[in-house]
Chain A
Amino acid sequence: MDIRDKIKEKLGSKITGWHEHSSRRVYLNVSRQDIFGVAEFLFKQAALRFSTASATQIPSGFEIVYHFSHDASGTMYSVRVLLEGAEPPAVDSITPVCSAAEWIEREMWEMMGVNFKNHPNLKRLLLAEDWPDGNYPLRKKED
């Protein structure tokens, strides 16, 4: 079965949005409580490579996009999770599924202030030790 159909079938109702920007760029939305299971399926069963993740501040909160690469077809599957509502933003860590996510989750935590639950080693990666707590440099400053 084609990898695209396999992902659609296995993840089924967990996919709340599916957008094919081009033949090799696919964006899918999942809800925050499903990301661990989705990452586990994409990384372990579907054998996609974890490329990286990007956190962005949006008007309603934050979005995290996890970029998984299917190298055999050269396709990026970018999984979007919206973290809206009450501060502080938090989501399950996917590091227990793939070690490759350890650094980028630490980076999103310190830069954007997103908390990753059950992360095995959630400490600073890039910021200096004396950087003030609660100051997240990649957040947009309010005018």
Chain B
Amino acid sequence: MSHKVIIPIGPYHPLQEEPEFFQLYVEGEKVVDIDIIIGYNHRGIEKLSESKHFDQVAFLVERICGICSSSHPYAYVLAVEDILGGEAAVVPERAVYIRTVVDELQRIHSHLLWLGLAGHFIGYNTVWMWAWKYREPVLDLFEMVTGNRNNYAMLKVGGVRRDIKDEDIPVIKKTLDELVPAVKMFEGAVIDDPVIRARLEGVGILTREQAIDYSVVGPTARASGLDMDVRRDDPYGAYSRLDWNIIVEKTGDIFAKTVIRIREMQESIRIIRQCLDKLPPGAIDADVKDIPPGEGIGRVEAPRGECFHYIKSDGTNRPVRHKIRAPSYMNVASNKVAVIGGTISDATITLAAVDPCYCCTERVAVMRRDTGAKVMNGWDLIKLSQEKTARLKEEVNNGRIDRG
């Protein structure tokens, strides 16, 4: 296409994960094309990993993402343990349960984070404040259990680095008990709210066929009717010994993605409770000496979907190749089909529905198709999105839309 492109110089926050640049091409209100440009924050971690020894790499990959910062080290240690014969053969039982607790606490805080941002994008700032309010006690649990609110440094090849103390278990349970009504409230607030339904139903649809074609993962895939979850399909941790459900929806719209994330938090709470009740006694790590030559694949179900790590070892103390594929790598690419055909006012929430990050949306630019002139930036788009919600709210209140 021969568009005259003007790139706005945006606030590129290097602190946030995955800064991305979306360039929307529009005709009137309708989005007709999109360019997705990534790489602003590429840090060369795969290359760096080749210069670290196996114990150091876990700390390195923890810094890929500050939100799902146990998923990357977990997938990495699983890849190394795959070379050694698998997690079940190497890691003591107690450590396996502790890994599962950390993995699920992380899912809760990540989904609450997303819920707050989604609320903000559609003009529900109360949802934003409340979701983040309830996220805070979860971060406190992380501080108590791991010593850190983010970048937990819990995972190591062969086990975990810190034990869960007996006296901490009632505190974790109490915090989870208090979280249950909050998650219930969010579920009710979203599913029963006619405005949110009118705003999110049928918007940003990713069809089942498109989801397969782009091989999307996690809640994005499950919202389009694909029944997949690494925790069940390729079990790691203690998941195969626990009772929990995978939430799948069929419509592929943003409403489905929202419902899935809220219900997954309830499942995460169930999983953690069972882990704490069943927590076996014993060691929390095994003494792993050398990593033999070979290759291993580790994957975990991060809050955003399958997180994939591939390790190739030549028998030295460093990996010769370390391939990392984060879930958003697959999900963000699918925006190409989810956004096109929708309106500009739906673009921010559609791009955000795969749960990339806040700063991503801030650097959206809208081009008018005829001239290529830049007409809007990210903040304008968020405002547009919030105005649409306000309009719908009025229509619902006046009885012009009868939903829910």
A interface residues, how many (CB within 8 angstroms): 35
A71 and B228 alpha carbons, distance in the complex (Å): 7
Q: Give min CB distance, B147 to chain A, whole Å.
A: 33
CB neighbours (8 Å) of A67 from chain B are: 297, 308, 310
Nearest B residue to A124 via CB reads: B39
Give the complex CA separation of A108 and B39 in angstroms. 14
- B346-382: which have CB < 8 Å to A? none
Say whether B277 faces chain A, with CB atoms less than 8 Å apart. no
A126 touches B42 (CB 8 A): yes
**Contacting residues, chain B, for A75 (C-beta < 8 A):** 234
**Alpha-carbon separation in the docked complex, A25 to B296 (Å):** 8
Residues of B within 8 A of A128 (CB): 39
Complex partner residue of A103 from B42, B310, B333, CB under 8 angstroms: B333
Residues of B close to A24: CB separation below 8 A = 234
Considering only residues 29-57 of chain A, those with a C-beta below 8 Å from chain B are 47, 49-52, 54, 56
How far is the CB of A69 from the nearest CB of chain B, in Å? 8
B215 within 8 A of A: yes
Q: Please measure, in the bound complex, the distance between the C-alpha atom of A72 and the C-alpha atom of B299, giving whole angstroms.
A: 15
What residues of chain A lie closer than 8 Å to B341, measured between beta carbons?
Answer: none
Report the interface size class on chain B: 35 or more
In the bound complex, how far is the Cα of B209 from the Cα of A47, in angstroms? 11
Chain B, 26-81, CB within 8 A of any chain A CB: 38-39, 42, 44, 46-47
Inter-chain contact A54/B39, CB cutoff 8 Å: no
Closest chain B residue to A57 by CB distance?
B321
Contact partners of A65 in chain B: CB under 8 A:
310
- Shortest CB–CB separation between residue A39 and chain B, in angstroms? 12
With a cutoff of 8 Å between Cβ atoms, the chain B residues found around residue A54 in the complex are 310, 321, 323
Q: Is A76 within 8 A of B297, CB to CB?
A: yes
Which chain A positions have C-beta within 8 A of B320? Answer: 56
- Return chain B residues, CB-CB under 8 Å to A104: 325, 329
Q: Are B333 and A102 in contact (CB under 8 A)?
A: yes
CB neighbours (8 Å) of B167 from chain A are: none
Main secondary structure of the interface of A (DSSP, over half): mixed
- A124 to B35 CA separation, bound complex (whole angstroms): 13
The residue of chain B having its C-beta at the shortest distance from the C-beta of A27 within the complex is B295
- Structural contact, A21 and B333, CB atoms closer than 8 A: no
CB atoms of B39 and A74 under 8 A apart:
no
A73 to B234, CA, bound (A): 8
B342 at the interface (CB under 8 A from A): no
Complex: A137 Cα to B308 Cα, angstroms = 21
| Chain A residues closer than 8 Å to B235, beta-carbon distance | 74
Interface string of B304-337 (1 = CB under 8 A from A): 0010101010000000110101000110010000
Residue numbers in A under 8 Å from B312 (CB-CB): 56
Q: Does B86 contact A (CB under 8 A)?
A: yes
Q: Within the complex, what minimum Cβ distance (angstroms) separates B341 from chain A?
A: 16
In the complex, whether B243 has a CB less than 8 A from a CB of chain A is no
Residues on B with C-beta less than 8 A from A137 are 44, 47
Q: How far is the CA of A102 from the CA of B333 in the complex (A)?
A: 9
A99-143 with Cβ < 8 A to chain B:
99-100, 102-104, 124-128, 137-138
List chain A residues, Cβ under 8 A from B333.
99-100, 102-103
Known interface pairs A51-B325, A98-B213; A72-B297 also in contact (CB < 8 Å): no
Contacts A22-B85, A56-B321, A69-B234 aside, 6 further interface pairs with beta carbons under 8 A come to A21-B296, A74-B232, A76-B234, A76-B297, A100-B214, A104-B329
29 contacts between A and B (CB under 8 A): A21-B294, A25-B297, A49-B215, A51-B215, A51-B306, A51-B325, A52-B308, A52-B323, A52-B329, A54-B321, A56-B321, A67-B297, A69-B233, A69-B306, A72-B233, A74-B230, A74-B234, A75-B234, A76-B299, A98-B215, A99-B214, A99-B333, A100-B214, A100-B215, A100-B330, A100-B333, A104-B325, A127-B42, A138-B47
